[in-house]
Amino acid sequence: MPIDPRAPYDEDNIFAKILRGELPCNKVYEDDFAFAFHDIRPQAPVHVLVIPKGPYVSWDDFTAKAPESEIAGFMRSVGEVTRQLELDGPGYRLLVNMGGHGHQEVPHLHVHIFGGRQFYHMIPD
């Protein structure tokens, strides 16, 4: 079920629990701004999610409310994850689903990193 992007942040969402270490994940990266882990339902040979450490429901919430230092830090972190995964040479795809039409399922902003194969079509479904 897609989320309501205008709902208040839910401290009990799955990614909040992963961030607090209350649920397990296959972690790949962490710094002051971001936490990254493998997607539980991978749709490519590499499918990693990067989430901000702050409580942001969606891309809309993050870009409207986060201080510039957090936005800049998070963007840099996403780049760092792609380099640690050695995707900067072959290339990769980033995706953010937002709200109902975007079919966002988890109400904590996450950037999907897809890699490890050639992508052709713009929309991956």
Q: Which two tokens stand for residue 122?
A: 């713009």
The whole-angstrom separation of Cα 41 and Cα 56 is: 22
**Chain residues 95-124 in contact with ligand DGP, contact rule CB under 6 A:** 97, 103-106
14 part of the interface to ligand DGP, by CB under 6 A: yes
In the complex, least distance from residue 120 CB atom to ligand DGP, rounded to whole angstroms: 20
DSSP string computed for 46-99 = EEEEEEESS---SHHHHHHHS-HHHHHHHHHHHHHHHHHTT-TTT--EEE---H
112 is an active site residue: no
Binding mask 22-61 for ligand DGP (x = CB under 6 A): ---x-----------xxxxx--------------------
In the complex, least distance from residue 53 CB atom to ligand DGP, rounded to whole angstroms: 16
Q: Which is nearer to ligand DGP, 31 or 38 (CB)?
A: 38
In the complex, least distance from residue 39 CB atom to ligand DGP, rounded to whole angstroms: 5
Sign of CA dihedral 77, 82, 91, 25: negative
Q: How many helices (H) and strands (E) does the chain have?
A: 4, 5
Site residues (CB under 6 A) for ligand DGP? Answer: 14, 25, 37-41, 97, 103-106
